[in-house]
Amino acid sequence: MERERNGGRGRQADLTGFEEFYQSAYARLVGQLFSVTGSLEQAEDVVQEAFIRALDRWPRIQAYDVPELWVRRVAINLAVSEIRRLRRRAANLLRLGAQRPQPQLTPQTTGVTEMLRRVPVNQRPVLLLHDVLDLPIEQVAEQLGLPVSTVRGRLARTRANLARHLAADPEGALSRHGRP
């Protein structure tokens, strides 16, 4: 009720308190989580995520005797979950590693890769599926989970974008590697 009379100033006061809390605890928590993760980057990631979660719940968490304990617990849980996920991933990669066939990188494949690098990432799958693999637009739309009209639009923009690149560099990567 006091916040309503303040015209929202209470929310700003809450955020100021959070910012002070963040500034005072962040470095300490990263140092502590470094011991758990063994990686400064991973420690920073989990502590930042824990603070983001704390910000969403700040009105409740700021009332705790030691709000830092909540953030530390969340960061530790995140770190442990990430370590478990990475271990599962590593084990699965080891299982697949022995069975993994070697990719066949032909000059044509290299040329397609160079061509696709010239267009934005979200346009590459449309060009690959339709123009390189010769799938009908409807099937491309289904595989990418997009409306047919979106696929048509992306395909048109991709071709125009690629034409501009090729016109600017007619002796570029596609000429050296063979056109698909």
Handedness of CA 16, 17, 18, 24 (dihedral sign): positive
Tokens 């071709």 locate to 159
In a 10 Å sphere around its CB, with 0-12 CB exposed, 13-18 middle and 19+ buried, how is residue 168 labelled?
Answer: exposed
> What is the topology classification, in CATH, of domain 107-177?
Arc Repressor Mutant, subunit A (1.10.10)
Q: Is the pLDDT score of 118 beyond 90?
A: no
Q: Is the pLDDT score of 143 beyond 70?
A: yes
**Mean per-residue pLDDT for 65-80?**
96
Cα–Cα distance, 61 to 56 (Å, whole number)? 9
DSSP state of 102: P
Highest mean pLDDT among 11-25, 99-113, 129-143 belongs to: 129-143
pLDDT at 100: 64
Rounded to two decimals, the pTM is: 0.52
At residue 13, φ and ψ (nearest 5 deg) are -65, -40
Residue 55 in tokens:
């910000």
Average model confidence (pLDDT) across the chain: 83
Could you tell me the pLDDT band of residue 24, with boundaries at 50, 70 and 90? very high
pLDDT at 164: 83
- Of residues 169 and 172, the one with the higher pLDDT is 169
